[in-house]
Amino acid sequence: MEYVVYILFSVAADRYYVGQTNNIEKRLATHNSGGKKYTSKGRPWILVRTYPCSDRSEALRLEGKIKKGVSNDILTKSNFRDVAQFPQRNGTGSVAYHARGVMVA
């Protein structure tokens, strides 16, 4: 089963969240429904990037490196040059972002 390390961004809270999962769609829905205490106040969360991993052990190692700052530069806006559009408010108070072919609002 493939795992991914994911990076979410909250415009409302102006912060990132890093986690790992084997079901990114379900996990994003959980974060955006308030199902996780830490991310409940930053809704909506926008999927910025995923890093595929071969198993959970690899995902946990990468997540730990990012959270401990070894790869802290991953979390700077300048490193999203390959992403067509960085998350922005769309004028209605909601947020839209296109990542990996999926529209997340």
Q: What is the pLDDT confidence band of residue 14, given thresholds at 50, 70 and 90?
A: confident
Amino acid at 50: T
Taking the C-alpha atoms of residue 80 and residue 75, their distance in angstroms, rounded to an integer, is: 9
Taking the C-alpha atoms of residue 75 and residue 57, their distance in angstroms, rounded to an integer, is: 22
Q: Decide if pLDDT at 69 tops 70.
A: yes
Prediction pTM value: 0.68
What's the pLDDT score for residue 103?
A: 33
What's the pLDDT score for residue 68?
A: 82
Backbone angles phi, psi at 95, to 5 degrees: -125, 140
CB count within 10 Å of CB 65 equals 15
What's the pLDDT score for residue 104?
A: 36
What's the pLDDT score for residue 58?
A: 95
Q: Which two tokens stand for residue 11?
A: 């415009």
Q: What is the pLDDT confidence band of residue 91, given thresholds at 50, 70 and 90?
A: very low
Residue 58 belongs to a domain with what CATH number? 3.40.1440
Write out the residue range of the structural domain in which residue 72 sits. 3-104
* Residue 53, helix vs strand vs coil: strand
Consecutive H or E run containing 32: helix 24-32
| Overall number of domains in the chain | 1
What's the pLDDT score for residue 65?
A: 87
Mean pLDDT along residues 14-29: 94
Q: Decide if pLDDT at 70 tops 60.
A: no
How many residues in the chain?
A: 105
